[in-house]
Structure 1
Amino acid sequence: MLVTMSIDYHIYKRWTPWIVLITLGLLVVVLFAGADINGAVRWIRLGPLSFQPSELAKYVVVLYLALLIDQRKGKIKKFAEGTIFYLAIAGVFALLILLEKNLSITAIVMMVAFVMILAGGAKISHLLSLIPMGLAAGMGLIFIESYRLKRLTSFLNPWADTSGDSYQLIQSLYALGSGGLFGVGLGNSRQKALFMPEPHNDFIFAIIGEELGLIGCIFIICLFIFIAIKGTSIAVKARDNYGYLLAIGIISVISIQAIINIAVVTGSMPVTGVPMPLISYGGTSLVFNLSAIGILLNISRQGKEEELN
C-alpha cells in the first residue's frame, strides 16, 4: 500500500497494456498448470507460496476499463461501441476465470465493469436492457453445474441437509445467533474451535458476530460503508476522469465483495466462496486490496493538490 500510494497513478496508463497481457497469460497458465487447493484449481504455486491470478484480474479489469473509457470518451454513449465493447473486454477476463469454475469472481468482474461503465457516462437504458440477459446467463451457469445447483438448493432449504452442503451455512447462523448483542468475547468462539471448518476464510464475519456480537458486526459494516463513502468522495474530487474511473472501480471491487460476503454469511444468498476484503485470511487478496487502496490514496493526494493550486 505504501508503495502504490507513492506512485503517480498516471504511470499505470503506460503499463496497463503489458499488465493486461501478463494477467491474461497467468489466467491461461492456471488452467493447465494450476495447483489444486481444497478441490479448486485456481492457484499458481511459487515455491512455498501460492498465487491466485483471478484476484489480480479484478483490479486489472479496473485499470484497463479506466484507460479505455478515458481514451474513448466519445464512444461511451453508444451501445455497440460503448457499453457492449467495454462489457466484452471485461467478459474476456470473466470467461477465463469462469473456466476455473470460479463463478463468484466472474460475477464480480462483470458487476464492477457494469458500475464503471455507468459511472463513465453510458446510457442507463443501454445497461438496463442487458440485465435480463445477464440474469439468465447467471442462472444458466448455475444449472449446468451440479455443485452450484446444490448450493442453490441448500440456500433455499438449508435445514434439509444440515451435515452436507448446508453445514457451513448452518454453523455460520449458529455463530451469529450465539453472539447476541455483545458476543462471547474475543477468542472465545466455540464454532471456530469445534464446528466450522476454516473459519478464518470466507466465514470470518460469522466468527466476528459470535465473538463481538451484533455490535461488532455493525462496526465492521460501518467500516465498509465509510470506505465506500470516502472512496466515492475521492473519485468525485479526482483531478481527471481517469482518476475518477480508477477510484470508482477500486471502491466497486471492495464494496461488492463485502456485500456478497456478508450476504452469504447471514444466509441472504447462496454460498459463493467470496472472502471478506481486508479481513479474511488470504495473502493474494490482501496484497491486491491494500495495493488498490494505495492507488486510491494517491488519487486522493493528487486531487487535494489540484484543489490547493
Structure 2
Amino acid sequence: MIKQLDRYDMIILMMAVALTCFGVVMVYSASSVMAAKKYHDGFYFLKRQGIYVLLGFTAMYVAMFIDYETWRRWAVPLLLVCLGLLLLVFIPGIGGTAKGASRWIRLPGFNFQPSEMAKVVLIMYMAYSLDKKQEKMKFFSTGFLPYMVLLTVLLGILLKQHDLGAAVTLWAVAFAMLFVAGARIQYFLSVVMLALPILVYVVMFEPYRLRRITAWRNPWADPTDSGFQIIQSWLAFGNGGIFGQGLGEGKQKLFYLPEAHTDFILSVVGEELGFIGVMVIAGMFFLLVQRSIRVALTSPDDFGRYLAFGIATLIGIEAFVNISVVTGLLPTKGLALPFISYGGSSLIISLFAIGILLNISSKARSGS
C-alpha cells in the first residue's frame, strides 16, 4: 500500500490528512461545553464531525483512483445538476434556513450545502471549457463573455441565498482561472468597473451586510452587537499570546465567541495554541497550496493544469479569507476554514477535491 501511494504527491496527502485530524480535535475542544448545554451530550459535534471525516476520506480515496479525465466528460452534466440543487434550497420543505440564509438542502440527519459543490463543479466546467477554447480566450465574445454570463447566474442565486462568502469565492476562483488561461487584462477591468456599483448596492441595501462593514471599520462602536464577534475573536488571540493557554483551556469558547466551532475556530486555536499554533496552521495551508500549484505546472495536459490550479486557488482563497476575517482584516462573512471548521458539506467536498489533485499528481509523476 505504501509503495502504491508513492506515485501520489505525499505532501498534499499528509497536509490534508493532518489538517483534517487536527480539525476534529479542535471541533471537540471548541464545542464540547456548548454541546453539553444545548444537546446534553458533550460529544455531539465530535461524533457528527467524525462521520463527516469518514465520508470525506472515502470521497478522497475514491477520487484518487478515478482518472481526472473522467471529469471532463461529466463537467456539463454536473454543472446542470448543481444549478438544480442550488435552486432546490428555495423550495419549502426541501430547503433549510438559518439566521435568514437559505443555503441548505435538508437530508435525513444531514444538511447539504450545494454552494460547496458548486465551487468544485465550476472549476471542473471551466477547466473543460478553457481547454477547448485555447486561442479564443483573446476574444471577448467567445473567450470571456460566456463565463461572465454563467458567473452572473451563479452569483445571483448565491446572493439570493444570502451567501455572499460563496459568491465572492466563486468570482475570485473564476477570475484567477481566466487570467492564467490568457484572458485580456482590460476585460477584467471593465467587468470590475461594472460590478462595483452592484456590489455597493448589495452591501448598502442589506442592513445586516452594512452592519458588518460598520463593525469591521470600528467594532467598538457597537461592542455588544455587530462588533461583538470580532472583539471576542481578538480577545481570544490576545489571551493566547505566543504559546497559548493549552489545548482545551480556552475561555472565549465558553459562550463568549459566537460560531467558535465553525467560522471562528481559528480564534480558538489562537487562544489555546497561541501565535505559534496559528502560524503552523497557516504554514500548512501555504505548503498545501504551493504543492497543488506545482501539480498544476507538471500536469501532462491543459485540462489537468486548469483543474489543479482551480482547486489550489479555491483552497488558498478560502483559507486566506477565513484567517483574514477572524483577525479583523476583512469584514465578517460565513466562510469555513477548509478541513478544520465543523461542517459536513465543506469538509467532504474539500477532501474530494484533494483526491482529484492527487490523481493529477499521479499522472504527472508517471508522465502519462
Please, what TM-score do these two structures have when normalized by structure 2? 0.81
SS in 2 for 1:251: helix
| 1:232-271 matches, cutoff 5 A | 232-271=293-332
- Contact kept, 8 Å, 1:189 with 1:210, in 2: the verdict is yes
Match of 2:144 among 72, 83, 90: 83
Match of 1:94 among 127, 143, 155: 155
What letter corresponds to residue 79 of structure 1 in structure 2?
F
SS in 2 for 1:31: coil
Offset of 1:169 from its aligned partner?
0.7
Offset of 1:124 from its aligned partner?
2.5
What letter corresponds to residue 124 of structure 2 in structure 1?
L
Does residue 191 in structure 1 map to residue 244 in structure 2? no
- Contact kept, 8 Å, 1:183 with 1:213, in 2: the verdict is yes
Match of 2:351 among 277, 287, 290: 290
Report what 2:45 is aligned to. none
Stretches of structure 2 that go unaligned for 5 or more consecutive residues are: 1-59
Offset of 1:270 from its aligned partner?
0.7
Offset of 1:68 from its aligned partner?
0.7
What letter corresponds to residue 210 of structure 1 in structure 2?
E
Decide which moves more: 42-51 or 27-36: 27-36
Structure 1 stretches of 4+ with a deviation exceeding 3 A read: none
Report what 1:214 is aligned to. 275
How many residue pairs align between the two structures?
A: 307
User: What percent identity do the matched residue pairs reach?
Assistant: 42
Report what 1:54 is aligned to. 115
Decide which moves more: 182-191 or 90-99: 90-99
Offset of 1:194 from its aligned partner?
3.7
Decide which moves more: 219-228 or 89-98: 89-98
- Contact kept, 8 Å, 1:232 with 1:247, in 2: the verdict is yes
1:87-115 residue CA offsets vs partner (Å, 9 max, x unmatched): 22222222211110111111111111000
Report what 1:299 is aligned to. 360
- Contact kept, 8 Å, 1:9 with 1:295, in 2: the verdict is yes
Report what 2:233 is aligned to. 172
SS in 2 for 1:126: helix
Offset of 1:14 from its aligned partner?
1.2
1:179-202 residue CA offsets vs partner (Å, 9 max, x unmatched): 000000011010012411230100
Stretches of structure 1 that go unaligned for 5 or more consecutive residues are: none
Does residue 22 in structure 1 map to residue 92 in structure 2? no
Match of 1:152 among 180, 203, 213: 213
1:103-142 residue CA offsets vs partner (Å, 9 max, x unmatched): 1111111111000001112122322333333333322211
SS in 2 for 1:275: coil
- Contact kept, 8 Å, 1:87 with 1:110, in 2: the verdict is no
1:57-104 residue CA offsets vs partner (Å, 9 max, x unmatched): 111110111111111222111122212222222222222111101111
Please, what TM-score do these two structures have when normalized by structure 1? 0.96
Distance 1:194 1:18 in 2: 44
Q: Give RMSD over aligned pairs.
A: 1.2
Distance 2:276 2:200 in 1: 35
